[in-house]
A = this chain, B = another copy of it.
Amino acid sequence: MPLPLSEDDKFHEECGVFGVWRHKDAAALTALGLHALQHRGQEASGIVTLDEAGLFHTHKGLGLVGDIFGDAKVMASLPGSAAIGHNRYATTGETALRNVQPLFADFEFGGLAVGHNGNLTNAGVLKRALVRRGCLFQSTTDSEVFVHLIAISLYSTVLDRLIDALKQVQGAYSLVALHHGALIGARDPLGVRPLVLGRLNDGWVLASETCALDIVGADFVRDIEPGEIVVIDDSGIRSVTPFSNTESRFCIFEYIYFARPDSVMEGTPVYDTRKRIGAELSRESAVSADVVVPVPDSGVPAAMGYAVESGIPFELGIIRNHYVGRTFIEPTDQIRHLGVKLKHSANRAVLEGKRVILVDDSIVRGTTSKKIVEMVRQAGAAEVHMRISSPPTTHSCFYGIDTPERSALLAAKHDVEEMAKLIGADSLAFISLDGLYRALGKPGRDSAKPAFCDACFTGDYAIPLTDMADNAERRSALEKASA
């Protein structure tokens, strides 16, 4: 079976958010925070500030934070002591500037800016109803649904309108909002996506991850709770919990791959967790070998944990080219067959004649894994054993992660033995679901009430997939009609 070609075969976090209240360099801090959150979205970024006169200022661009906000003139055009910012990962065709967040709108009550990490599962249904009502959509983002719901709400305060809107949407979201009286942070009732609160002198910071607090020198205060709305204004911070049912179903993949290793999520350091996952993986699927080699960079901590637990030396058998960044060599035929080598190269001195354990965080389509195994063999490896620090990804994510359709997921159609053959490895093993929960400090997975959202491994979708059902229904109505 020929595998499709893909340079980058990973799930992708779709966004990062950041907010500051009461700091004279609000825009600069936001730029730094977005820079620290760059791994959560590299296609576009935006910042909206609010100045002392109550005026909003905005700058958005396509590209990396440092390029968009690296110009002193740009920073000077963003005065004010409050700001929110947003990094965006965009799927094909939708990198238009009008989709770059934060979204901003002039309402009857004044301006409001909103930045949103996550994905709504009933955005399509809501959007059709809004258009019927006469609302004009300008972007193709889910997030604009929030803005229209706020605009047409009959409540009078900003906060009540926001709650009114949140109660109508379904999905996973962490959002930051800024209006002339307050900075607001909110997390969906299951707390699927992260959002943390920090303190910086007498001001406040909201961010997707703690690494963004660290870069601006803010102290971590706490995670925003599932279903919690925090309102930060000059009188301080207060918490609103408008949802009757909340429980914690934090995204387990943040630990495996999305979050930066130096972040602390829901009380647990990501780096430590990854090493523990590696150790657990070693216990579950030991194999006799000479070296443990990570697939850089995301596989490194798990490989270290694996190596220590197994006693097999950890070696850098694959070198990553740091200058790939946004660079892009167009896939002429000559170059295409050289495949993954633009990003990685084999370190022959480490691999030649060795039995190699390769540690990676996940297998999505399998294309990269296949090339990595091939490259390692070409460099002279005697055996290649692939070990994966997540369970098989058998289902798509609809909660803010860019994943291929289910049919493109290798694990959705093949068992582990077939997958090993397809990627060309001598052996392949994934960590078990219970092993993953154990590495996270749980006794195992409680299938009645799982501690995390693990839908990509289990298909157990905790938030209804309304649009998907609606589409299926429309199609079946159509099929009936045409029958």
Contacts and interface: CB of A to CB of B under 8 A. Distances in A.
Contacts of A338: 32, 215-217
Given A67-B327, A69-B329, A136-B106, A346 B262 contact: yes
Contacts of A105: 136
A329 B216 CA distance: 14
B215 A70 contact: no
A325 interface: yes
Contacts of A71: 330
Most B Cβ at <10 Å: residue of A147, A342, A349, A350: A349
A70 B323 contact: no
What DSSP secondary structure best describes chain A's contact surface?
Answer: mixed
A15 interface: no
A261 B316 contact: yes
Nearest to A132: B108
A347 to B, nearest CB: 4
A272 interface: yes
A236 interface: no
Interface stretch (A33-41, A118-126, A388-396, A433-441): A33-41
Interface string A438-480: 0000000000000000000000000000000000000000000
B323 A325 contact: yes
A271 B349 contact: yes
Contact of A36 (B31, B260, B321): B321
Interface string A26-60: 00110110011011001000000000000000000
A242 interface: no
B106 A137 contact: yes
Nearest to A28: B334
A216 B335 CA distance: 9
B332 A72 contact: yes
A238 interface: no
A211 interface: yes
Contact of A32 (B66, B153, B335): B335
A206 to B, nearest CB: 19
A264 B323 contact: no
Interface in A145-199: 147-148, 151-153
A200 interface: no
A3 interface: no
B135 A151 contact: yes
A342 B28 CA distance: 12
Interface in A207-260: 211, 214-217, 260
Nearest to A75: B332
Interface of A: 25, 28-29, 31-32, 35-36, 38-39, 42, 64-67, 69-72, 75, 98, 105-108, 131-138, 147-148, 151-153, 211, 214-217, 260-262, 264, 269, 271-272, 297, 300-301, 304, 308, 313-316, 319, 321-330, 332, 334-335, 338, 341-342, 345-350
Given A134-B135, A264-B348, A297-B322, 5 more contacts: A42-B323, A66-B328, A106-B131, A135-B151, A271-B349
9 contacts: A35-B342, A65-B327, A66-B323, A66-B329, A98-B98, A211-B345, A262-B319, A262-B345, A269-B347
